[in-house]
């Protein structure tokens, strides 16, 4: 069964606008972690933001914030003030349990920022 679901089609975003990328997850664990990674066309995987299942506050890292809705099992990424360099694939990932740092990834969301 798919643990991470990212179903949005490719998105075009105007520069300086905000964009929200959807991610839903499926787990029966109480302890888990949620991550977002960025993959530009060059291919590397760049860590953006992390949310622990017990964290009460939504995580923020600069222009990135994670809208964590535990009851709905969603962990949407919000990118504010989009820049041309934000054009990339964005992957949501989950670590289940504790003592295990393996990540399960979603299929990704393609974002293109237009000037």
Partner 1 sequence: DSGVTQTPKHLITATGQRVTLRCSPRSGDLSVYWYQQSLDQGLQFLIQYYNGEERAKGNILERFSAQQFPDLHSELNLSSLELGDSALYFCASSVDPGYDGELFFGEGSRLTVL
Q: How far is the CB of 96 from partner 1 (least distance, A)?
A: 12
Nearer to partner 1, 19 or 34 (CB): 34
Note the residues at the interface with partner 1 (CB under 8 A): 33, 35, 37, 42-47, 50, 52, 91, 93, 98-108
Q: How far is the CB of 114 from partner 1 (least distance, A)?
A: 25
Nearer to partner 1, 18 or 45 (CB): 45
Q: How far is the CB of 42 from partner 1 (least distance, A)?
A: 8
Helix (H) or strand (E) holding 48: strand 46-52
Nearer to partner 1, 19 or 49 (CB): 49
Helix (H) or strand (E) holding 13: strand 11-14
Residues facing residue 93 across a β-bridge: 35, 105
CA 26 → CA 18, 39, 45, 71, distances in Å? 26, 23, 23, 11
The radius of gyration computed from the CA coordinates of the chain, to the nearest angstrom, equals: 14
Nearer to partner 1, 57 or 115 (CB): 57
Q: How far is the CB of 79 from partner 1 (least distance, A)?
A: 18
């Amino acid at each position: 069964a798919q643990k991470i679901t990212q179903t949005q089609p490719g998105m075009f975003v105007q520069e300086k606008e905000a964009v929200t990328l959807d991610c839903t997850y499926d787990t029966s664990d109480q302890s888990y972690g949620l991550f977002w990674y960025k993959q530009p066309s060059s291919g590397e995987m760049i860590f953006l933001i992390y949310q622990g299942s017990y964290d009460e506050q939504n995580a923020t890292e600069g222009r990135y914030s994670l809208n964590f809705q535990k009851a709905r099992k969603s962990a949407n990424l919000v990118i504010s003030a989009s820049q041309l360099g934000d054009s990339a694939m964005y992957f949501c990932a989950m670590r289940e349990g504790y003592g295990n740092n393996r990540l399960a990834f979603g299929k990704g969301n393609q974002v293109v920022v237009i000037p």
